[in-house]
Amino acid sequence: GNSVTQMEGPVTLSEEAFLTINCTYTATGYPSLFWYVQYPGEGLQLLLKATKADDKGSNKGFEATYRKETTSFHLEKGSVQVSDSAVYFCALSVRRNSGYSTLTFGKGTMLLVSP
């Protein structure tokens, strides 16, 4: 079936460190891939997305490249800030029997950045 696997957290970094959060997926066809971010007590916000192989999504210094050959969509940032502390979710679009697509999410990875 369709699924997303993320690295377990928490990921603990010092400010200005390099960040990588791994995400791999299993899917039929060619899904769109997403990274969402959740700050404490809030809903999720779209961080970036890629809709086809080799696309690179980027936003606020974060980047992720859709790698079809390795079925991966790893999130990276060159220099993290304390304000980046949050839970990050990788997701893929899944076409259902209804004919519509919905998102399937990974379990989330908590990032903690210290000053």
Partner 1 sequence: DGGITQSPKYLFRKEGQNVTLSCEQNLNHDAMYWYRQDPGQGLRLIYYSQIVNDFQKGDIAEGYSVSREKKESFPLTVTSAQKNPTAFYLCASSIRAGQGGEKLFFGSGTQLSVL
Residue 52 is given by DSSP the state S
Residues that bind partner 1 (CB under 8 A): 31-32, 36, 41-46, 49, 51, 89, 93, 95-96, 98, 100-108
**Nearer of residues 5 and 17 to partner 1, judged by Cβ:** 5
CB of 23 to partner 1, least distance (A): 12
CB of 84 to partner 1, least distance (A): 19
Q: How far apart are CA 113 and CA 79, in angstroms?
A: 11
On the 0-12 / 13-18 / 19+ scale of CB atoms within 10 A, 86 is buried
**Nearer of residues 56 and 107 to partner 1, judged by Cβ:** 107
**Nearer of residues 32 and 62 to partner 1, judged by Cβ:** 32
CA angle 58, 99, 93 (to 5 degrees): 20
Beta bridge partners of 65: 56
CB of 26 to partner 1, least distance (A): 15
Q: Tokens standing for 53? A: 């192989």
